[in-house]
Structure 1
Amino acid sequence: MLSFYIIVSLTIFLIIYGAIEYQLHQKNLKSIPIRIHINGTRGKSSVTRLIGAGLRAGGLKTITKVTGTFPRIILADGSEAIVHRKEQANILEQLDIIKFCSKQQADVLIIECMALQPIYQKITEHQMIKADIGVITNIRLDHLDVMGPTLDDVAKAICGTIPKKSKLFTSEDRYLGFMQKIAIKRKTKIHNSDPKTITNDDLKGFSYIEHKDNIALALDICTELGVDRSIALPEMKRSKPDEGVLRRFTVNENGKRIHFYNALAANDPESTIMIWDAIRNQSEESEHFMFLLNTRQDRQDRAIRLVDMMSQLDYGSIGLVGESLDMVVTMCEKQDIPTTKIHAIGAKPTLEQYHDLCEASLSNTTIIAIGNMGAGGAELSEHFENIHQTSN
């Protein structure tokens, strides 16, 4: 009987505690005038950072939280703090960010969606953030083990974060009609950003290769909140980019000039092909192109799709680094990629990988690194960056 009373008492306590926590969270939410929730397959972190920079330039006290390659909180003065995690990422950390933002009396909170499971994406928006402005950058094939198996399934999952009685900004064209149907049901106005509004001159001044879609989306939101693009854009160019953005590093080794593009955050075929086309269009015809595929053992589905993509493109060679090397070599062989094109390097120390890649390169080579930032990808890119900085 005593155990029964203990269980009942504990249950009542938890219910009361949960109710109090819920009310405190609602109070924190209401204290933040503008909440922007950013979701999508690609570009979330970049768009989050761009909007934050633009709004700060316009005088709005803005706090930004990016999941990105490495999670960060960007404070109102533009400085950054690392998000330390004792365990694996959990959507409950968003509650702490909202509480922090409320204490800081911020005008704006910009927060990147960190949920993958469709139900958690819905909970994050409709129970935790309740955005005034929702953002969907794009919808592409990735995380099919969680959101798949089809692109339509991914679209349904991501659109779970379309807010109610608010505004939605997106650069996505393919699923715009689908998004509009959901937005109508939720009484939300939708705005489709047009990358054609961004000129090549607008791209000048960025320290990395930024996509027009991301800039257009960020500028439209800044304009919506009263910050003119003439004020927002210069600050976007000055802001610190996410570690996963597309950047080019040039090194000179043994008479070879090697351009290394860090496109490791582009881990779906559609995004990778867009980057491939952009690089090809600004490169010399004589350049030797090498795809560098970095594989994680727990992301073999990505490797399958990217190897299939590479089998359909015209390039000089492939470098394979990271985990599951034998498996990826077999994938390439099954796609009839000539073994003479394949340089199987694997999960070696960073310096050894660097030297092997330089050895495999020709006199004028462009390496496009794709696949994963993890499993040594970030370290290899950082090594190319360090050599680039000391030799240029």
Structure 2
Amino acid sequence: MSAESAADQFLDYAAGALPMFLVGAEYEWKTGPKPIEVGSSSLTGLLSEATRGIRHRKVLDQIDTQIVVSGTRGKSSTTQRLDDVFNRRGYDTLTKITGNHPLLIHNGEVHPIERRGPRTTLYENISLIAEFVPELDAYEPDDVAIFENQGITEYTTRLFNQRLTDPDIIVLTNVRQDHTDTLGKTRTDLARSFARSVPAGTHVVSGEQHPVLHEYMQKEIERRGGTIEQVDIPDEHEGLIGSETIHAVNAVLDVVGEPPLPAEEIESFLSAIQPTWIELEDGLIFNAAEVNDVESTEMVRRVLVDDECITPFVYLRRDRRGRTASFAQYIELLFERELIDEAHIGGANTRAFAENVDVPTKCHSQNADPEQVLTELFTDGRPVILMGNTVDEFMREMQASIEQRVKEKRQAASASEAVDISEQGSAEATKPKDHE
């Protein structure tokens, strides 16, 4: 009977699921000395985890406040900031960061998570919660558990919220045009996927500022028994990168009865993360491929240049067809607005991209030399913005080439300054001295 019950529960969990759940890293993390190994993603492992369902719910009930961070962009950095704020305020904190370099942070102590096998599964959270939550319950301060939602489909996002965690608060960072292959073709589809993943009784803090999308999500979430508030961004922070996520932290603090972040801390954070040009001998460049969705890329472009003409380099990946389609539309929009004269395209399927946009393009093969491509990007003398995808050996080599050119420029400047000082000293030494 136990095996039959476990099998039935597994079928309930797994209906409509993908065979594996792969997620991408959004943030680079420093790791600590104590790794944690998480379990197998095999069918046997999943059945074993399913039998722990009742015990898992009881463990979750021990946590005073559960926060889940969801959305398209900025999940990892927002999760980290929430962890930092609650830890500094004396809470007992347990935080799970997902991605290719997953971490678990307990009261500021960082544990890298080592997975057995190449797959990333949602079910690894069960063993992590079972191991660490009892430690939370043993402390006197109020405890807070913060989880980054690692689902990349509507089903897995909902499963994470409704079965693997029990959030009091969900922070929705934003709704950007990415993961369109798995979460929906349009931003409205993406908003629907996020809204449908909210359990009854959960309060949502939404950083998404689009009024139509917010109204749509509000109706959907309230219909399901949840509540939602839209993050209020003051006029002086309007349009700044990361403004919706830092003010989302303040909204969460308000929900749990904590005072807001000091104004100077917010200003310092926003100032530190605003994009600035990298100056090379050839010209100005910025790597916006790390944000990898068109809305975030456009925000970066506006902060950097506003209406100045640029040279875009869009790097494509074969496994990101939805992202490729959205960047094709974005490049056409920039061309129509006379913000670009041509586009440089690299990576996979460059010919198909070029044939489907009404924009002059120059294609660079996957075997191209990143150093040579970088030189060609500055031919027209315009600022260069890298876009699209950054997780690829080609883009890593291009970033290394940029860093090397920055180093060479600084060395040349230092050498020039040393020569100037030397010549000035020589001139002073040979200057005739006045005698009384």
Aligning the two structures, in what range does the TM-score lie when normalised by the shorter sequence? 0.7 to 0.9
Cα displacement (A) at 1:66: 2.7
Larger Rg: 2
Q: Kindly indicate whether residue 75 of structure 2 is the aligned counterpart of residue 44 of structure 1.
A: yes
Q: Kindly indicate whether residue 354 of structure 2 is the aligned counterpart of residue 354 of structure 1.
A: no
Cα displacement (A) at 1:277: 1.8
Cα displacement (A) at 1:132: 0.8
Q: Kindly indicate whether residue 290 of structure 2 is the aligned counterpart of residue 264 of structure 1.
A: yes
Contact 2:341 2:360 in 1 (8 A): no
Contact 1:219 1:233 in 2 (8 A): no
Letter in 1 for 2:396: E
Q: Kindly indicate whether residue 374 of structure 2 is the aligned counterpart of residue 338 of structure 1.
A: no
Cα displacement (A) at 1:353: 0.9
Q: Kindly indicate whether residue 218 of structure 2 is the aligned counterpart of residue 180 of structure 1.
A: yes
Distance change >3 Å, CA 279–CA 89, structure 1 → 2: same
Give the TM-score of the pair, scaled to structure 2.
0.71
Q: What does residue 316 of structure 2 align with?
A: 295
Tell me the matched-pair count.
359
Contact 1:323 1:375 in 2 (8 A): no
Q: 1-side partners of 2:226 and 2:402: how far apart?
A: 44
Contact 1:251 1:388 in 2 (8 A): no
1:29 pairs with 51, 60, 64, which one?
60
Q: What does residue 31 of structure 2 align with?
A: none
- RMSD across aligned positions (CA): 3.5
Q: Kindly indicate whether residue 242 of structure 2 is the aligned counterpart of residue 221 of structure 1.
A: no
Q: Which runs of 5+ in 2 are unaligned?
A: 10-47, 138-142, 411-436
Q: What does residue 230 of structure 2 align with?
A: 192
Distance change >3 Å, CA 167–CA 12, structure 1 → 2: closer
Cα displacement (A) at 1:185: 3.4
Give the TM-score of the pair, scaled to structure 1.
0.78
Distance change >3 Å, CA 290–CA 78, structure 1 → 2: farther
Q: 1-side partners of 2:322 and 2:6: how far apart?
A: 45
Letter in 1 for 2:214: L
SS of 1:81's partner is: strand
1:322 pairs with 344, 347, 353, which one?
347
Q: What does residue 308 of structure 1 align with?
A: 329
Aligned residues with identical type, % of pairs? 21
Q: 2-side partners of 1:176 and 1:375: how far apart?
A: 34
Contact 2:312 2:344 in 1 (8 A): yes
Distance change >3 Å, CA 369–CA 70, structure 1 → 2: farther
Contact 2:313 2:346 in 1 (8 A): yes
Contact 2:277 2:304 in 1 (8 A): no
Distance change >3 Å, CA 138–CA 326, structure 1 → 2: same
Q: Quick one: higher RCO (CA 8 Å, sep 6+), 1 or 2? A: 1
Runs of 4+ in structure 1 off by over 4 angstroms are 12-20, 235-239, 245-249, 362-365
> Within 5 A, what are the aligned runs for 1:33-72?
33-68=64-99, 70-72=101-103
Q: Which runs of 5+ in 1 are unaligned?
A: 1-7, 204-208
After superposing the two structures, state which structure 1 stretch, 137-146 or 114-123, moved more. Answer: 137-146
Cα displacement (A) at 1:198: 5.8
Distance change >3 Å, CA 293–CA 75, structure 1 → 2: farther
Q: Kindly indicate whether residue 278 of structure 2 is the aligned counterpart of residue 250 of structure 1.
A: yes
Contact 1:321 1:353 in 2 (8 A): no
Cα displacement (A) at 1:30: 1.5
Distance change >3 Å, CA 188–CA 14, structure 1 → 2: closer
Cα displacement (A) at 1:29: 0.7
